[in-house]
Amino acid sequence: MPPVTPSSAASTPTARPRPADELSGGRRAAGLLFRLDVHRRLAEHRSPLGTADGRLLWLLSDGRARTLREIAEALRLEQSTVNRQVNGALAAGLLRRFTAPGRSARLLEPTEEGLARFEDATSQALGGYADGLAALGDDAGVFLELLGRFTEAYGEAVREG
């Protein structure tokens, strides 16, 4: 590799500093969403439920029992991962496994304790969102509308990309 001299360095393309207004689009959104994710992770860490238990109970809180395979597909996780997480939730008394007549695969559903702990954790999490929306005052509805549109557009972009 040839040595870099002042004249050859001048011809090497370098990243030019960008004015602040050029950073206000995608980079600003990415920065804000990163900060939101940091806050969300902190709230998740402080939750009375672990992340895996929370996801399982969220999915099963609709009242429909599911098989391991259905849970894995819905959460887009490997079945072995779901099996490990379900076994932990079963041991903690959050889920129950049962056999339904006419079905070969065993089904899973939340226990009363699991639902109660899920409701407590959900109330705690939603309280943080409610506080954030309250800080927006009359603009909260507009924010939610724009956030919904942004989320849909971003989802389409990453699925196509």
pLDDT digits (tens, 9 = 90+) for 111-149: 999 999 999 999 998 999 999 999 999 999 999 999 999
- At position 46, the amino acid (one-letter code) is R
For residue 15, what pLDDT is reported?
A: 59
First CA to last CA distance, the chain: 36
pLDDT-based confidence at 98, cuts 50/70/90?
Answer: very high
Q: Is the pLDDT of residue 7 over 60?
A: no
Rounded to whole angstroms, the Cα distance separating 116 from 89 reads 14
Contact 117, 50 (CB under 8 A): no
pLDDT-based confidence at 67, cuts 50/70/90?
Answer: very high
Q: Angle at Cα 34 formed by Cα 31 and Cα 134, nearest 5°?
A: 95
Rounded to whole angstroms, the Cα distance separating 125 from 137 reads 19
Token pair listed for 80? 């072995």
Give the closest residue to 51 by CA, choosing from 83, 89, 78. Answer: 89
For residue 23, what pLDDT is reported?
A: 62
